[in-house]
Amino acid sequence: MSEYRLLPIEKRRSLHPLWYALGCWLLVLLALMSYGLTMWLIQQNAKYGWVPIPGPGALPPWMLRLGLTPKVIVTWGTGLVVFLLLLGIVSTVYAILMRLFGYRVD
């Protein structure tokens, strides 16, 4: 009869609960940073004219009835893109740091 033995279980370093709170606050901070950066980009665009923003005649009437002006659409779209870029940068840095320090999250 063959002999079975248990292999030693690799002990994983658990993630401290403080990291979860830090991640929550970091999300709020990223949202505020993306709002500020978006407002700055829109002001710089108005100043230097990088991308022309069309007038209200370029939208269908139902969008105007909902209050969706071109400036609102550009602001929300730019804000979303900036937020996703910042989130990608922070997530990449966070993943590299976690890998360097040996943490594993299941």
pLDDT tens, position by position, 35-64: 999 999 999 999 999 989 888 888 888 988
Percentage, residues of the chain above pLDDT 70: 83
The answer to whether the beta carbons of residues 74 and 82 sit under 8 Å apart is no
Percentage, residues of the chain above pLDDT 90: 44
Would you say residue 8 has pLDDT above 80?
A: no
pLDDT score recorded for residue 10: 64
Global confidence as pTM? 0.75
